[in-house]
Amino acid sequence: MDNNFFGNLFSPKKTSGKETTSSSLPVLYPAPEFRGLENWINTPPIASMRQLLGKVVLIDFWTYSCLNCLNAMPYVKNWHKKYKGHGLVVLGIHAPEFGFEKKYQNVLQAVKKHQIKFPVAQDNGFRLWRAYKNRYWPALYLIDRQGRVRYMHFGEGRYQVTESAIRQLLKNS
């Protein structure tokens, strides 16, 4: 994907006809409703995005044998720790690349091994993955308090930019 696209996400002007708000992040689209999530870890099941209205939500699509996902995980864990008291909810959506990654016990073991404290759910059928039209591991989607996707990033890197987007939404939305 063209890196200029992501640079445009921080333009304070309208971008490609997308609505903007007090934050410089454009409103991209309404966050898709949860579909197909099961085996929640570190939390009781969250049945709906509506339960998270009023919070800033960071969705991290990952899988435990993906090196890029594991390289990005310390940043995601740090954002959870640093901003959970300020209204950020981090959700790890485990979408398996390989069959062995579908096994709940393997995911649970990976969550414990990597000391992941934020909620994790399995998306073995890729229903939420498809609702987001996602195609990458890792993939980050940042959702504002009104339930709108405001930022996305695919792959490793851009950690300072992503944290800046988190801070903007916590402050402005």
Q: What is the pLDDT of residues 31-64, one digit of tens each?
A: 999 989 999 999 999 999 999 999 999 999 999 9
CATH number of 28-43+52-172: 3.40.30.10
Give the residue with greater pLDDT, 3 vs 133: 133
The helix/strand/coil state of 43 is coil
Local confidence band at 19 (pLDDT 50, 70, 90 cut-offs): very low
Local confidence band at 23 (pLDDT 50, 70, 90 cut-offs): low
Q: What is the pLDDT of residues 1-18, one digit of tens each?
A: 333 333 333 333 333 334
For residues 130 and 61, the answer to whether their CB atoms sit within 8 Å is no
The helix/strand/coil state of 33 is coil
How large is the greatest C-alpha to C-alpha distance in the chain, in angstroms? Answer: 47
How far apart CA 72 and CA 93 sit, in angstroms, is 14
CB under 8 Å to 139, separation ≥6 — which residues?
60, 61, 132, 152, 153, 154
For residues 91 and 118, the answer to whether their CB atoms sit within 8 Å is yes
pTM across the whole model: 0.86
The helix/strand/coil state of 152 is strand
Q: What is the pLDDT of residues 62-120, one digit of tens each?
A: 999 999 999 999 999 999 999 999 999 999 999 999 999 999 999 999 999 999 999 99
